[in-house]
Chain A
Amino acid sequence: MKLFPTSERPRHSKNRTGYWFVLPYVIFFGTFVAYPLMFSFILLFHRWNIVTPMEWVGLKNFERLLRDPLFFKSIWNTIVFLFIHIPLQIVVALGFAVLLNSRLKFRGFFRAVYFMPVVVSGVVVTILWQQLYAYDSGLLNRLLVMMGIDRVPWLINPDVAMPSVALMATWKNVGIYIILFLVGLQNVPNELYESASLDGATAIRQFFRITLPMLNPTIVVVVVLSTIGGFSLFIEPYVLTGGGPMQSTLSAVLYIYNQAFYFGHMGYAATLGFVFALIILCVVLLQRKVIESESTS
């Protein structure tokens, strides 16, 4: 929507200023986006350790990828992460948002506290949770022992380690989704609830019939951003577990990093990045389709 008519544009805006203003971006794009993109396509078909000359290997990188158990392991780990992270995030964020969306004292205070982990560096959060998760001396296990519950092998059991990372990531990120849901809740017209109450709908029924469908766009955002986040995990496993135990927390980006900077396989690392990017784009498109079609049916 235009606030003011623009039919009669002044002559001055026809000059070359537009080019001068976008020129820096064009140069930037060419250097730091387009060139790397093209170079990545070259890398896909080469073996290269940066030091010695590139060696053409055809489709070998892709063949290798299809037979690479660690590639599939990292995808599986991401699936495990998302399977816990996404539902947990939606339930916790929605719960707190509904509680906050009412007349409250200290509302701003609660909102600010829940949001705090979002602004703090992932490095800080990870170092902190490393202490919370420690088996013998960790805060969480001490708390459990005090309550008469057995210690949980948060980071040392391969079946538990990735869910632990997902729990930590939820703690770090949920604040932003509380805010997004809160914005969504405030956009639900009050008349909807009023007429529903007149029809005798219970609060629970109102939540599932009115609130949830109205929040669908926000849920799409949570799912999409969490998925991108899952495929971008790096510092968490890097600091917390180094990808272990038994590769159970090896994430997509950590695997790319290891291949490139630990083993020096630039071509293969670029291939991994390319395939992961394709997967991300496909998964996100699919998620949007599914969630959006569910809201209309």
Chain B
Amino acid sequence: MKTFLKYLVLGVGAIIFAYPFLWMIASSLKPESQIGGLGLYSPDFTLHNYTQVFTRIPIGRAFVNSLFVSFTTTFSVLVFGSMVGYALARLQFAGKSVIYAVVIFTMTLPFQLTLIPQYILMVKLGITDTYMALIAPTLMTAFSIVLFRQFFLQIPQALIDAARIDGCSDTRILFQLVWPLSRPVLITVSILTFMTSWNEVLWPLIVVRDRALMTLPQLVTLFTIGGEAESLLGLELAAATLLALPVILAYAFFQRYFIESMASTGIKG
């Protein structure tokens, strides 16, 4: 009886968290008049809403923009973040503790403080409405540096020393010796950075007005609130599904990594 109750609560929980998504996907495939229903199935499933979304907004282009921005950001955060993390963990140089203090300081800064002046910086640099504006402020993140530093501290010094004796430069040591040993932290930083970048919407709304450069979440947001969807639920849900699907698919395959990575963001607090 007790076990039954437990499974019942867990099952109801699963329905509460999963059903809205299933309903969204199912409804996006229904004709507008049938969307109000609670159920999932309709005999009249159609791709009409999707073809409409594709003809009304440049959503394909936005998808490519988002991919480009997220991949570039992730790549940059991995390369530069690991370089700084490696220097802080493994190299000796004057001012090292200052740099570490700066990283920690940056991590505790609420973004509300720098939002407006960062936008003004983009205006002054003349790069609003460019990919550069979307990418530049997240080229490096303090949190990734801290994660890399923590991980690199645990790599045996003997390995690094051996490579040095063989005449390897620190650049080679980092990318050819340390990186292959650092899969867990590389995966964590990749997932966190990619997801944050993919889902970010406030910054794109601020620095990009040109439709051709808009990211996927930005375009979908403006489509929904800007009247282009003409309050047609089917279109809004189809656009939302297109935005959700890549992440849900990635999540389905790499679920464990997602959960572990996201849990590590909480542990820092």
- In residues 203-231 of chain B, which contact A (Cβ within 8 Å)? 205-206, 217, 220-221, 224-225
How many CB-defined contacts (below 8 Å) exist between A and B? 265
- For chain A, the bracket of interface size reads 35 or more
A232 interface residue per 8 A CB criterion: yes
Interface centre among A18, A109, A235 (most CB of B within 10 A): A18
CB distance from A116 to the nearest CB of B (A): 6
A261 interface residue per 8 A CB criterion: yes
CA distance A268 to B201 in the complex (A): 23
A28: contacting residue among B27, B139, B157, CB under 8 A: B139
CB distance from B3 to the nearest CB of A (A): 9
B201: contacting residue among A18, A39, A235, A261, CB under 8 A: A235
User: Are A280 and B112 within 8 A (Cβ)?
Assistant: yes
Stretch binding the partner chain, chosen from A135-143, A149-157, A158-166: A135-143
A204 interface residue per 8 A CB criterion: no
Q: Which residues of B contact A16 (CB under 8 A)?
A: 93
- In residues 1-26 of chain B, which contact A (Cβ within 8 Å)? 6, 9-10, 13-14, 16-18, 20-21, 23-24
The chain B residue sitting closest to A220, CB to CB, is B269
A and B contact pairs by CB, cutoff 8 A, 28 listed: A3-B156, A4-B156, A18-B96, A19-B93, A22-B87, A25-B80, A28-B80, A36-B121, A37-B113, A39-B117, A40-B114, A110-B13, A112-B259, A113-B13, A115-B258, A117-B17, A121-B244, A127-B220, A176-B266, A180-B266, A183-B267, A218-B266, A232-B111, A235-B201, A260-B119, A269-B116, A273-B114, A274-B113
User: Are A99 and B90 within 8 A (Cβ)?
Assistant: no
User: Are B99 and A120 within 8 A (Cβ)?
Assistant: no
Q: Which residues of A contact B64 (CB under 8 A)?
A: none
Given the interface contacts A21-B87, A29-B102, does A99 sit within 8 Å of B9 by beta carbon?
yes
User: Are A231 and B112 within 8 A (Cβ)?
Assistant: yes
- In residues 1-31 of chain A, which contact B (Cβ within 8 Å)? 2-6, 9-10, 12-14, 16-19, 21-22, 24-26, 28-29, 31
Q: Which residues of B contact A104 (CB under 8 A)?
A: 6, 10
DSSP majority for the A interface?
Answer: helix
CA distance A120 to B100 in the complex (A): 33
User: Are B158 and A4 within 8 A (Cβ)?
Assistant: yes
B78 interface residue per 8 A CB criterion: no
A286 interface residue per 8 A CB criterion: no
Contacts A22-B84, A26-B99, A224-B269 aside, 8 further interface pairs with beta carbons under 8 A come to: A25-B80, A31-B121, A32-B136, A95-B9, A115-B259, A119-B247, A119-B262, A280-B112
CA distance A112 to B257 in the complex (A): 11
A57 interface residue per 8 A CB criterion: no
CA distance A273 to B114 in the complex (A): 8
Given the interface contacts A10-B164, A131-B237, A239-B221, does A256 sit within 8 Å of B116 by beta carbon?
yes
Given the interface contacts A28-B139, A122-B199, A142-B36, does A261 sit within 8 Å of B206 by beta carbon?
yes
The chain B residue sitting closest to A261, CB to CB, is B206
User: Are B201 and A123 within 8 A (Cβ)?
Assistant: yes
Q: Which residues of B contact A281 (CB under 8 A)?
A: 108, 110
- In residues 146-175 of chain B, which contact A (Cβ within 8 Å)? 153-154, 156-158, 161, 164-165, 169-171
User: Are B262 and A273 within 8 A (Cβ)?
Assistant: no
CA distance A281 to B247 in the complex (A): 32
CA distance A35 to B156 in the complex (A): 38
CA distance A225 to B264 in the complex (A): 13
Q: Which residues of A contact B136 (CB under 8 A)?
A: 32
Q: Which residues of B contact A115 (CB under 8 A)?
A: 255, 258-259, 262
B143 interface residue per 8 A CB criterion: no
CA distance A175 to B251 in the complex (A): 14
User: Are B117 and A37 within 8 A (Cβ)?
Assistant: yes
Interface centre among A110, A115, A127, A130 (most CB of B within 10 A): A127
CB distance from B242 to the nearest CB of A (A): 9
CA distance A224 to B266 in the complex (A): 10
CA distance A48 to B168 in the complex (A): 54
Given the interface contacts A180-B263, A266-B120, does A231 sit within 8 Å of B110 by beta carbon?
yes
Q: Which residues of A contact B20 (CB under 8 A)?
A: 128-129, 132, 139
CA distance A245 to B169 in the complex (A): 62
User: Are A114 and B116 within 8 A (Cβ)?
Assistant: no
CA distance A18 to B236 in the complex (A): 51
User: Are B244 and A225 within 8 A (Cβ)?
Assistant: no
Q: Which residues of A contact B145 (CB under 8 A)?
A: 25
B240 interface residue per 8 A CB criterion: yes
CA distance A116 to B24 in the complex (A): 14
CB distance from A11 to the nearest CB of B (A): 9
A70 interface residue per 8 A CB criterion: no
B140 interface residue per 8 A CB criterion: yes
CA distance A270 to B224 in the complex (A): 28
CB distance from A233 to the nearest CB of B (A): 11
B106: contacting residue among A6, A29, A218, CB under 8 A: A29
CB distance from B193 to the nearest CB of A (A): 14
A91 interface residue per 8 A CB criterion: no
Q: Which residues of A contact B184 (CB under 8 A)?
A: none
